[in-house]
A = this chain, B = another copy of it.
Amino acid sequence: MVAPSGQGRRLLCSNIYLTVRFVSLKKGNMKPKKQQTRRRSKQAHEAIIAATLELIEEKGYLGLSIEGIAARAGVGKQTIYRWWPSKAALTIEAYSQKVTSTLQSPDTGSLQLDLEELLGTIFTRIRIAPTSKVMTGLIAEAQTAPDVGEQFYTGFIKKRRELLFALIQKGINRGEVPPDTDMEIAADTLFGPMWYRLLLGHAPLDQKFAKKLVEQLMVGLATRGEETL
């Protein structure tokens, strides 16, 4: 019978509790070992994330303020500043939790269909009301604060690109596209127009557009091999 968690093992012997803690015996044991102190409060953390999402929904990313989040979460401002350097970083965490996690890799057996499905899903998700504004707000801030850019890239962009790379790799394995396909450019070709339309709003992010982009890419990739001859 083993008790879980933190403190060691707890064994119930009739009416006596034994808390057994194994102390490591290694030589390097005696090092100064920075003292353990009070840990980050999970409650506060969650309340802050929740308040952030709520307020973005209500007022948009631009209307977001640390002060407002603190008030809504019932938290001191310092508690926010302690853990996040900026409202951008906070937003990224709040959103990456919410948005990207559930994105799945399609598997139709055909690269073209896979790509269409992936792009279609992403289009559908990203054009939902507050999301698009959050994205553009973050992008704008990323221009000024380089760390925001990095976090945004790793939090949102990278995952999508890697999903894409995996699909293309499968296509290469199946012989649908040449093995020396430049995946980076492929990604830019598919996602670039998406952001472009999202940001400028001059044309819709619909399934038709997704299909067109994929089609054009596929032709480009296929032909590229021949041209090299």
The complex places the Cα of A196 from the Cα of B202 at a distance, in Å, of 16
Q: A62-B144, A132-B143, A220-B216 are in contact. Are A149 and B15 (CB under 8 A)?
A: no
Q: Which of A22-30, A41-49, A99-107 contacts B (4 or more CB under 8 A)?
A: A22-30
Residues from chain B with a CB closer than 8 A to the CB of A61 are 143
B-contacting residues, A1-59, CB 8 Å: 1, 3, 8, 12, 15-25, 29-30
Which residue of chain B lies nearest to A216 when distances are taken between CB atoms in the complex? B220
Is A142 in contact with chain B by the CB < 8 A criterion?
yes
User: B143 and A199: CB pair below 8 A?
Assistant: yes
Is A201 in contact with chain B by the CB < 8 A criterion?
yes
Chain A interface mostly: helix
Q: A143-B137, A143-B199, A216-B220 are in contact. Are A19 and B18 (CB under 8 A)?
A: yes
21 contacts between A and B (CB under 8 A): A1-B15, A8-B17, A17-B21, A18-B19, A19-B20, A19-B21, A60-B143, A136-B139, A136-B142, A137-B140, A142-B199, A152-B200, A157-B202, A182-B212, A188-B193, A188-B196, A189-B189, A195-B195, A215-B224, A219-B223, A223-B223
